[in-house]
Structure 1
Amino acid sequence: MGFSLKLCPLVFVLLSFLAFSFSSSFSSSSATQLCSHEHATVLLQFISAFSINKSASSGCEYFSGVKSYSKTLSWKEGTDCCFWNGITCDNVTGNVIDLDLSCSNLYGSLPSNSSLFLIKSLQSLNLSNNDFNLSKIPREIGQFVSLKHLDLSYSEFSGQVPNEITHLSNEIRELILSEVNLSSLNPRYVMNLSSSLINLDLRFSDLKGNFPHNILQFPNLRIEGQIPKWMWNVGKDTLRYLDLSHNSLMALEQIPWRNIEFLDIQSNMLRGVFPVPPIKMICLFISNNHLSGEISSELCKANSLEILDLSHNSLSGMIPNCLPDLSKNLSVLNLQANRFHGNMPSMFPKGCKIQNFNLRGNQMEGLLPRSLLNCSELEVLDISNNNIKDTFPHWLESLHKLQVLILRSNKFHGLVHNTKANSSFPKLRVLDLSNNNFVGPLPVHYIENLKAMVNAHEHGNNSAQYMGGRFSYEYSVMVTMKGFFIELEKVLTIFSSFDLSKNKFSGEIPKVIGKLSSLKGLNLSHNNLSGFIPHSLGNLTNLEWLDLSSNELVGEIPQELVSLTSLSVLDLSNNQLDGCIPQGNQFNTFENSSYEGNPRLYGFPLTKSCDGNGMLQQPLGSFHGKDHELWEFGWRVVLLGYGCGLVFGLLMGYIAFQIGKPKWFVTLFAGQHIKKQGM
C-alpha cells in the first residue's frame, strides 16, 4: 500500500501531462479543420443571390437518378462551413476545395462578379441540375486554376461559352457540359485541355465544326453514349487497330471500318444485337457489355478471326453450327456467361487450332462432342455450369496439351474410368469435376499420371508466367478457392488444384494422392469416402486449402499434416474422426468449424482437451450439460455409499460389543486398568 501511495503523485503528473498534450493536440487539430472565416462569408454572399424553387431541379431525378433537396438550408452564419451540405474542406488549411450544389433547387443568375470566384482553392465544382435563369457562363470560371472537376450540365445556362473555359488545362480531369450551348466554341480549343482528362461529356451541346481527331490520343479519356458518326469516317478504309474499351458507350449498330483487324470494345454499356465483324477481323473483344439476341451465322464469314471474346453479355439462342469452321485460325473462343442453349457445336474439323474454349455459365445441353479431339492445341476447356449430360470424357486424355479441365456443375454421371494409357492428361494442372453425379472409387490411375501436379515447374515454367496466346490475351477461369468461387483473370502456369467435391465417390482416399506435391488446393468434400486420412497428404507441402468435409472418414488426424505450413483453410467437419487434434504450425490457427460434426475429436480449439500423451483429459471444469450432471450424480452415489457403510459398520459394532464383549478386549483393557490402580 505504501509503495502505491508513493507512486500516486507521479501517476497524477503523467496523466495530467498526457491530458494536456491530448487536449492541445485535439485543439490544434480541431482548429485546422475549421472553415476559414473568409470562405464562410464568401459562400453566404454567393448563395444570397438565389432563391429556392423546387421546379429549378425538376429534371434531377430523370438525368441523375437522385432526388433534389435544398442543400443550402443548412448554411448558417456562425457555424463551421466545413459541415455545411455540399461543402468539403482541406483537412490542413480549412479551405473549401469541393462545392457540390447539384440538384439543390437553386434559381437565379450567376453574375460575373459573384463572390464564388474568390474561392481560388476549389478543386471540384458541381452546379448541375439547377436553373440559372438563362444567364451566361461567366468567363471568370477560368480563374479556378486548381479545378479538377467541373459539371455545369442541365442548369439552363445560355449564350456563348467563354473561351476562358479552356484555361482549365492544368488539372482538369472531368468536364461535363451536357445541354450547355457550345455552338460558339471552336472545337480546336478542346485540344488545349489537359491530357489527364478522363471524362469529357458534351452531349446535346450543339458543338459545330470538325472535331479534332487527335483528341483520341488523350490516354485516359470522352466516351459515353453512341459512337459519334463523325468517327465512322475516321480511317474508314485504312483503320486497322481501335481500342474503345472501358468507356460508357451504349450503342454500336455496326462496325463501319472495312479493313479493321483489331477492335477492343470490352467493358462498355453496349446494348442491342451483336454487330457482325468485317471479314478481315483478327481480334474482336466485346465482353462485359449488355448485348442480347442471337448470333448471326454471318459471323462465320470472318474466317480470319483468331480471338473472339463475347463473354459476359446476354446473348441467347443456339450457337451457330458453322462456328467450328473458324477453328482453323481461331485460338480463343470465349462465350462464357451468356444465355446460349441447345447442343454444343459438334463438327470441329481436323486441324482445329483452338487453345482456349470457354462455355461456362450458359444453358448448353446434350453430349460433349468427340470432335474436340481434332483440337490438338487445346489448353483450356471450361464447360462448367451448363446442363451437359454425359459420362466422363476419358477420351480427352489424348489431348497432351490440355492443362485446365473444368466440368463443374453439369449432369455428368457414372464411373470415372481408369484406362491403361501411361500418359493420361500429362499436362493437366487444374481438374474440377465437382457438383456432378460421378460414382465409384476415386480414379487412382489418373491420379498416378497427373505429372504436372507432381511437379508444375517441370511441366510449366520455372518463373511466374500466365497462360495466354497471341496478342497478349491472358486466359481466365472460375475455380473454387478456399471455399469461395473466384474468377482467376490470369492463370499462373504453375497453379494446380484438384476438386472432386459434391459427387458420390466412395471407398478410401488413395495414398498416391500424396504425390501431387504441387497442389495448391484439394477438395474431396461431400462424397461417400470412408477409411482413414492418408498420412501421405503430409507430402503436399504447397497445399493452401484442404477440404475433406462431409464424408465418412474415421480414425485420427495424421500428425504429418502439421508440416503443411502453407495451409490456410482446413475443413474436416462432418466425418467420424476421433482422437486428439494435432498441434503446431497452422493447426494453431484453425477454428472450431474445421472440426465440427466429429463428436469423438478433442484438443484445441475444441473444449475437450488432451493430456500430455494425446489422450482425452476431462477435468471437472471441462464438463458441461449432461456430462457434468452424470459426473456429479456419480460422485453423490459414491459419497452416499461411503456414508451409509460407515454408519452401518459403527452400529453393528456397537451392538456386537454390547451383546458379548470379546475376551481379548476384556483382557487387554481390564489388565491395563488393574495395572494403573497398582501404580
Structure 2
Amino acid sequence: MKYWNTEGGIGDCCLWDGVSCDTASGYVIAIDLSSSWLYGPLTSNSSLFRLLHLQKLNLAFNDFASCTIPSEFGQLSRLTYLNLSYSMFDGHIPYEISRLTNLMVLDLSGVTDNLYVREVKLGRLITQNMTNLRQLYLDRTNLFSPVPEFFGNLSSLTHLSLPTCHLLGKLPRNIFQLPNLQYIDLNNNSLTGYLPEFNVSSRIKYLFLAQNSFYGKLPDSIGNLKSLNFLDVRKSNFSGIVPPSLGNLSQLSKLDLSDNCFYGQLPYTIGNLAKLTVISLSENHFSGGLPSSLGKLAQLEELNLGYNNFSGQVPTSLLGNLTRLQNLLLDNNYLSGQIPSSFGNLTQLVASHLYNNRFSGPIPSSLGKLTQLKSLLLSSNLLDGELPISFPHSIESIELMENRLTGSIPSTSIANVTLLQELDLSSNSFTGVIPSSLFGLRSLIYLRLDCNRFTGSLNISNFSNLGYLSAIGNNLNGPLLVPPMSTWFYSVSGNRLTGSFDPLFCTLIHLQYLDLSSNNLSGTFPECFGSWASSLTVLNLRSNNFNGKMPRACGNGSHLTTLDLSHNQLHGKIPKSLTECKGLGILNLGHNQMSDSFPFWLQNLSRLQILVLSHNKFYGSIWRPHNFWGFPYLKIIDLSFNDFTGSLSAQYFLNWTSMAGEKSDYIGGFSSGGGNYYSMTVIYKGQEMGFIRVLSILVSIDLSNNRFHGEIPTTIGALGALVVLNLSSNGFTGYIPSSMSNLTELESLDVSDNKLSGEIPRQLNSLTFLGYLNMSENEFVGPIPQGGQIANFPDSSFLGNLGLCGRPLSKMCETALSPTPSPNINVTSGDDSIMSGFTRKVVAIGYGCGVVFGVVGGHVIISRRPYLMWIIFRVIPQRRRRR
C-alpha cells in the first residue's frame, strides 16, 4: 500500500491503514483493504497466508486480474469474517474454504458468474460444520446445485444471499423456519416448490424470491411476518388471490407481486400498509375496481397496476391523497370515466402512464400544476376535447395517440415545453396549421403527427436534434423540405406535398427510413442516388409524379432492403447497379412506363422476397433454360399487365423453395415500431386489395394480362405455400394440372380468359381454403366437380365455357353410363382415395376458409400499425388492447 512504509517513524505495521492488531499479543488479527485499488493476481505464496492469527479479512472491490482464489485461504483457520466480493476472481472456489468452521461471514459475490464450485456441489463448499455461519453471500457464483437440506439446520444464519447462482430443485422449506433468519435473497434462479406456512416468531425482514419457478399461492400465514420490510416475488409463477392477511405487514415498505398469475380483487386491507413506498402488481389477472383504501398509503412513491383487468373509475381519494407519488402506472386495464381534476394534487408526479384504458372526457386542466412531470402517456383511450392550455414546463414525453382529441395545437402551450423530447399526437382529429412554436423546440427528438387533419406546410428547418418524424395521412401542402442532419426516420406519406427531390437528401448520413409516398412530388431523381449513404434501409417514393429514368440506387456497402418506386412515370430500363443492393428484399417498380426484357440478373439478389414489375412495358420471355435458376426466397412475384411472352418450362418453379412451404417472418426489414411491415396492393380474390403487413402466409404469383402460352407446368404443384395464383388473360392451353391439388394453402385461383380445355380436375375439391375461383372464358368441358369445394362457387366462376355443365350452372349434365375420368387424373392401384397423399384441412365453415388470412392479417394491421389503414383504406380502426 502507498502508506505502508517505515518512513516518518511509522515502523509498526499495526499503525498502518487497514491493519488491526491484538493489543496484548501484537498479532495481526484484521485487514481491511476494500476499495484500495489493488491490482494483479493474488498468489499462493503471498505472505498474507502466514498471518495465522487473522480473524477478519476484507479484500472486496479490488482487481485481482481474474486469478483463481488460492486454496491457502484454508490455512487461516481463525477467520470469522472473509470478504472477497467484487474483486475479479475467476475459476473454481477452493473446497479448502470449507475448513474455516469459525466463519460467521462469508462473501464471495461477483460481478459475473465466472466463479464456480468444483464438482457442482454447494454442500462441498458450505458444510454442516459451519454452525457459526451468520451471513452467506454468494451472489452470481455459478453453483448449478440444489440448496442442501442441512441449510435448514444453520440456526445462526441471519443473511442468506444466493441470487443468480443457477440453483435448482425445490427449496428446503425448513429454511424459512430458521429462528434468526432476517434476509433471504434467492432471486433469479430455477427453484421450484411452494411457500410454507410462516411462524409468528419469524424475524424475516427481507424476502426476495423473484424470477424463479415456484407455484401455488401466497399462504395466509404470510401475515405473520410482522417484521417484513421488503417482499419481491415477481415473475415466479405464483397464483391465486392475494390473502387479506397481507394487510398485517405493517412494516412493509416495498411490495412487488408483478408478472405472476394472481387474480381476483385486491383486498381492501392493502390500505393498512401505511409504510409502503412502492407497490407493483403489474402483469397479473387482477380484476374489479381499485380499492379506495389505496388512498391511505400516504408514503407511496410508486404505484404500478398496469397490465391487469381493473375496471371502473379511479377513486378520487387515490389521486387526492397520494401527494408523494412519483410514478403512477395504470396502463393496459379497463379503467373508465374522466380523469379526475384531483390529478393535479399529485405535485411530485414524474411519470403518469394511463394508456390503453377507456378514459373519456377532456384532459384535466389541473395537469399544469404537476411541475415535476416528465412523462405523460395517455394513448389509446377515449379522451376528447382540445389540448389543455398549458403543459408542465418539466415535461419530456407526451403520448396522446389514438384518442378523439380535436382542435388545433395551442401555440403557447407548446412553446413553453422547452424540454420536450417526444410528442405523439397521431390518430386523433386535430386540425389547423402546425404552430411554428412546435418547430422551434430544439430538444425534440421524436415527433409523430400521423392520421390527423393538419394543414399548411411542414417547416422543419429549425429542428436541430430531430431523429424521428412521421406525419402520415394529413393534408399538409407546400414544398418538400429536407429534415435536419440528425434524422434517421422520415415519413410524410399521404399528404399534398409538392416539388422535386432535393439532392440534399443524399447528405443525410444517419437516415435509415424515407417514405415520401402518395404526394404530388415530381421531377427526376438526382444522380446522388447512386452514392447514397449506406445507412438507408427503406426508400419508398410510391404514388408520386416522378419521371425520367430509374436512377442508380445503390452504392458500395448499401444496406437497402426495400425500394418502392411504383405508381410514377419512370421509363427506360432497370439499372443493373441494383445488384449492388445485396440485402434488397423488396423491389416494387409497378405502374410505371419502363420498357425492358425480363431482368434475369435479379436472381443475384439472394434475399429478394417481393418482385413487382406490373403495369409497365416489359416484354419477352421470362424463361431461359441456361440462365435461370429461380428465386429461392421469393414470396411474391407480380408481372401482370406487361407484354411478356413464351411458355413456362416444367423446371420453372423448382427452385422457388420459399413458395414450397419454408417458413419466414414478415417480409421486409424495417418499421417505426420495431416490427417489420410493408404495404402493397395484390389482386386477391378478384379485387385489388391493400395489405399493410405482408405476412409469410401471403405467397402470391400474378402473371395475368400478358401473352404467355403453352401448358401450365405441373411443377406449379410443388409451391405448397402458395396463397394467390393469377394466370388470367393469357394464352395458356391444355389441361389444368391435377398437381394443383397440392396447393393446400391456396385461397385465390384465377385462370380466366385463357384457352384451357378438358375437364376440371375433381382433385381441386381438396383445396378447402379456396375462397375465390375464376375459370371463366376458357374451353373447359364436362361436369363441374360436385360434392366438394368447387361447386360452391357462383356461376360467374365458370361462364364462357360452353362445354361445362352441372351446378352452379343452369345447364344440366346428361347422364352417362360410364363416366370418363379427367385426362389429368392418375389412378394408382391400392389408393383408397383419389386425394391419397394430400393433406386434408378440416374447417368449420365450408369454403369460407380464406377468412383465416383476413383475420390474421387484419389483427396485425389493426393492432400494430393502425395508422397505415388510413393510407390504403382511408379508415382509422379502433386500436386493440395490448395484452
TM range (shorter): 0.5 to 0.7
1:444 shift after superposition:
3.9
SS of aligned partner of 1:272? strand
Amino acid at match of 1:225: G
1:210 shift after superposition:
4.5
CA contact (8 A) 1:422 1:449 kept: no
| Residues 106-185 of structure 1 mapped to structure 2, 5 A cutoff | 148=361, 173-175=383-385
Amino acid at match of 2:697: I
1:310 correspondence with 2:516: yes
Residues 570 and 374 (structure 1), Cα distance of their counterparts in 2 relative to 1, 3 Å cut: same
Amino acid at match of 1:603: G
CA contact (8 A) 2:680 2:692 kept: yes
Aligned residues: 446
Residues 538 and 296 (structure 1), Cα distance of their counterparts in 2 relative to 1, 3 Å cut: same
Matched with 2:775 is: 572
Distance 1:289 1:209 in 2: 25
CA contact (8 A) 2:411 2:435 kept: no
| Residues 259-658 of structure 1 mapped to structure 2, 5 A cutoff | 259-346=465-552, 348-420=554-626, 423-457=629-663, 460-461=664-665, 465=666, 467-469=668-670, 471-610=674-813, 613=816
Matched with 1:61 is: none
- 319-328 vs 203-212, which deviates more? 203-212
Distance 1:598 1:485 in 2: 25
1:245 correspondence with 2:450: yes
Distance 1:576 1:480 in 2: 24
- 225-234 vs 267-276, which deviates more? 225-234
1:213 shift after superposition:
7.2
SS of aligned partner of 1:456? coil
1:512 shift after superposition:
1.1
CA contact (8 A) 1:187 1:209 kept: no
Distance 1:475 1:269 in 2: 23
Amino acid at match of 2:495: N
Distance 1:469 1:417 in 2: 32
SS of aligned partner of 2:757? strand
1:229 correspondence with 2:456: no
Distance 2:414 2:790 in 1: 71
Distance 1:274 1:559 in 2: 57
Residues 235-290 of structure 1: CA deviation (Å, up to 9, x unaligned):
x1x43222222333222123321122222222222111111111221111111111
Residues 534 and 275 (structure 1), Cα distance of their counterparts in 2 relative to 1, 3 Å cut: same
- 481-490 vs 224-233, which deviates more? 224-233
CA contact (8 A) 2:611 2:638 kept: yes
1:488 shift after superposition:
1.3
1:468 shift after superposition:
3.1
Amino acid at match of 1:226: V
Amino acid at match of 2:447: L
Amino acid at match of 1:375: C
Judging by fraction of residues, say which structure has more helix.
1
Distance 1:377 1:513 in 2: 27
Distance 1:410 1:564 in 2: 33
Matched with 1:43 is: none
SS of aligned partner of 1:585? coil
Residues 149-182 of structure 1: CA deviation (Å, up to 9, x unaligned):
89xxxxxxxxxxxx9999xxx99943369xxxx9
Residues 445 and 186 (structure 1), Cα distance of their counterparts in 2 relative to 1, 3 Å cut: closer
Distance 1:447 1:335 in 2: 31
Distance 2:517 2:426 in 1: 26
- 377-386 vs 265-274, which deviates more? 265-274
| Residues 199-238 of structure 1 mapped to structure 2, 5 A cutoff | 199-201=405-407, 210=416, 223-234=430-441, 236=442, 238=443
Residues 590-645 of structure 1: CA deviation (Å, up to 9, x unaligned):
111011111111111112223564889xxxxxxxxxxxxxxxxxxxxxxxxxxxxx
CA contact (8 A) 2:667 2:676 kept: no
Unaligned runs of 5+ in 1: 1-122, 124-145, 151-162, 617-679
CA contact (8 A) 1:562 1:582 kept: yes
Distance 2:568 2:689 in 1: 18
* RMSD over aligned Cα atoms: 3.6
CA contact (8 A) 1:187 1:211 kept: yes
1:589 shift after superposition:
1.4
Residues 599 and 357 (structure 1), Cα distance of their counterparts in 2 relative to 1, 3 Å cut: same
Residues 608 and 254 (structure 1), Cα distance of their counterparts in 2 relative to 1, 3 Å cut: same
Distance 1:519 1:336 in 2: 26
The structure with the larger Rg is: 1
Residues 400-443 of structure 1: CA deviation (Å, up to 9, x unaligned):
10011011110001111324367421111111111100111025
Matched with 1:103 is: none
Q: Percent identical across equivalent pairs? A: 36
Amino acid at match of 1:228: P
Residues 345 and 186 (structure 1), Cα distance of their counterparts in 2 relative to 1, 3 Å cut: closer
Amino acid at match of 2:598: F
Residues 157-216 of structure 1: CA deviation (Å, up to 9, x unaligned):
xxxxxx9999xxx99943369xxxx9xx88879x9x997974242689999994797795
Distance 2:603 2:738 in 1: 29
Distance 1:615 1:263 in 2: 71
Distance 2:621 2:367 in 1: 72
Residues 63-107 of structure 1: CA deviation (Å, up to 9, x unaligned):
xxxxxxxxxxxxxxxxxxxxxxxxxxxxxxxxxxxxxxxxxxxxx
Residues 479 and 327 (structure 1), Cα distance of their counterparts in 2 relative to 1, 3 Å cut: farther
Distance 1:258 1:205 in 2: 20
CA contact (8 A) 2:360 2:384 kept: no
CA contact (8 A) 1:227 1:252 kept: yes
Distance 1:505 1:312 in 2: 33
Residues 577 and 287 (structure 1), Cα distance of their counterparts in 2 relative to 1, 3 Å cut: same
Unaligned runs of 5+ in 2: 1-337, 339-358, 369-377, 820-883
Amino acid at match of 1:438: F
CA contact (8 A) 2:409 2:430 kept: no
Matched with 2:183 is: none
Amino acid at match of 1:507: G
After TM superposition, the score normalised by the length of structure 2 is 0.46
Amino acid at match of 2:558: C
Amino acid at match of 1:606: L
Residues 485 and 271 (structure 1), Cα distance of their counterparts in 2 relative to 1, 3 Å cut: same
Amino acid at match of 1:570: L
Distance 1:272 1:474 in 2: 29
1:522 shift after superposition:
0.9
Amino acid at match of 1:242: L
